[in-house]
Structure 1
Amino acid sequence: MADESDGIEEAFEGQLRIAVTAAGRVGEVIARAREEAARRAQARSEQATRELASRFEAEKRAARVELGNVYRSDWWEKATPDQIGGALTTARAWGNEDPEAIRAEGRIRDELRTRYGVDVDNTGADPAAVQAAVEAEQARRQSETERQRIATEQAEAVELSRQADEADRAAEASRDTAENAPEENEREQAQAQAEREQNRAEATREKVEPLHDSSERRERDANKLEQQGVGKEAVSAKMAADVSQAKPATEAVKAQQRQGAKARPNRSRSPKVQRTELGR
């Protein structure tokens, strides 16, 4: 029984050394990526800089909540190597910007040294295993980032579609007014309003299309296929087919809108004149 227990402890410590070493590297990569993102945003516009700073501030608050665990003894008693590595990754990722992250990393270092005899700066972990862990964690984070991006784009597309539908309804109401208003100036104003609302609907739907089909999205898909071992010629063929075939649902809606507009009778004539002609 003692031998079995010793084997479990050795396996745990081996995993911990790998996780801790990989965590340090991944955390530094995240910190550099955030700094690069901040530089790119600043180069684009003040608004982009503000939006990114707001997002980073929210992420920093979440990181502080996560790092609060490292001060709790009960957390350390149950923490897995992956959880400990995750905490160290977070601390290292924010160490250049948040004193709380530096303090949390100090606590992690103390706990690792006291509880497991692990020196963060010299874990003795197998380099190949560490590299594999780093690559796996980076892939996981990239996948999570991609899922978040897709979710954000989908939410934006839904909102834009709602706005476009709203403009469609407003345009239809104005067209009805233009058809039935007794005064010519009312009809003209309503017709002009209908055209403005229809233009707004189409312009809004055009904003949805890049969210569905864009060069950036195709580039990401191509890179992913190449990483999976698909040949470049096959990837190129797939992307060419994608460009020629991929059309968002909004394109069908716009086509229906155009057909409906063409089929609609001329409303410039007065309803009174139409009734008079019918009575002849």
Structure 2
Amino acid sequence: MRWKQNSTVALCTLILSLSTAVSRADEFAEKGREIFKKNQYAVVTVQVVIKASGGGGRSSENKQEITGTVVDPSGLTVLALSACDPAEMYRKLSDDYKMEVEVSDIKMLLEDGTELASEIVLRDKDLDLAFIRPKTKPASPMVSVDLSKSGSAQVLDVVVTLNRLNKAASRAYAASSERIAAVIQKPRTFYIPDSGMSSTTMGSPAFLPDGKVLGIFVMRAVSAAGGSGGNFRQNLTSIILPAEDVLKGAKQAPEAKGEDEKKEEPKPAAEKPAVKAGE
């Protein structure tokens, strides 16, 4: 009889634990959907043409679509520099890397089909950040992520990440959950996400369940020992760069030059006053 009572208690405890876990998962999913609904249009597809050239006159050119996060209503958008211009990252990994990369024909592809011609206005090689601006001011303020409303995370915290999928998936907006595997304090603070498969890409924003932004996904590369090629994986990892570091870069981003920028025309020389006869 006592055995049956103990079994019943254990079963009830298990059911209660499972119900609590399901309830917490549902709560996180609900908060995640709120974050997605509020911020999805701040994530844009950025189309770039990358031309790489090296020794012997070899060159290649290809068009890529990468993820950007709009961080200001003016259209200022942050990307992972390694996604649009990987040359600096490869130079860190190997002194033997001699390729030169040129990025051109940058366009933001918006949800309504609008294409905004843009240009890189600031690069931060140390933090793997690139900031772009539309060459022409958008007709209306763009949905953006407020980097000043940021928070921090601890090991095993779960965060919500946003992304736009590729052309094959109709560039649909997507959300994923990522767990923080490690928090690095030195030489600067950043977060290591776990290695699980998700739709998150470089340039994606990460949010805490309370809606505050944690940071932006970028790549961290360190110089390889000996300065030559080898196992790149030992010197390369994806990280979440804290929003406060991204904000510092955003505040330094200059305005775009724009396609229609006109050179200042020389002013006509002032006419000399007429000289009267006899003077």
Q: Identify the TM-score tier after normalising by the shorter chain.
A: under 0.3
TM-score (norm 2): 0.27
TM-score (norm 1): 0.27
Q: Which structure features the higher share of helix residues?
A: 1
Q: Which structure features the higher share of strand residues?
A: 2
